[in-house]
């Protein structure tokens, strides 16, 4: 039972970091938008990362 919780924690952490990196590298966001999204991701943790994933992440193949 503990291994499942540990795996979920690891995957959630990896997802959080990936969304944070994607936000910083996202060419479609202006600098002020990036700052706001980074703060949302940092302070809301997994919920902020999920919000960014749904609302603002860079789509694969669409980056300039």
- Interhelix angle for 31-55 vs 2-25, to 10°? 140
Q: What is the pTM of this model?
A: 0.84
pLDDT band of residue 64 (cuts 50, 70, 90) is very low
Q: Report the 10 Å Cβ neighbour count for 23.
A: 25
Span 22-61, pLDDT tens digits: 999 999 999 999 999 999 999 999 999 999 999 998 776 5
Widest distance between CA atoms in the chain: 44
Domain boundaries, the chain: 2-55
| Cβ proximity of 42 and 48 under 8 Å | yes
pLDDT band at 3 (very low <50, low <70, confident <90, very high): very high
pLDDT at residue 22, rounded to an integer:
95
Measured CA to CA, the distance from residue 60 to residue 20 in angstroms comes to 16
Examine the pLDDT at 62 and tell me if it is beyond 90.
Answer: no
């Amino acid at each position: 039972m503990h291994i499942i919780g540990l795996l979920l924690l690891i995957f959630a952490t990896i997802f959080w970091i990936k969304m944070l990196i994607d936000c910083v590298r996202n060419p479609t966001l202006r600098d002020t938008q990036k700052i706001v999204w980074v703060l949302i991701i940092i302070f809301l943790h997994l919920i902020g990362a999920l919000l960014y994933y749904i609302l603002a992440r860079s789509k694969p193949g669409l980056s300039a």
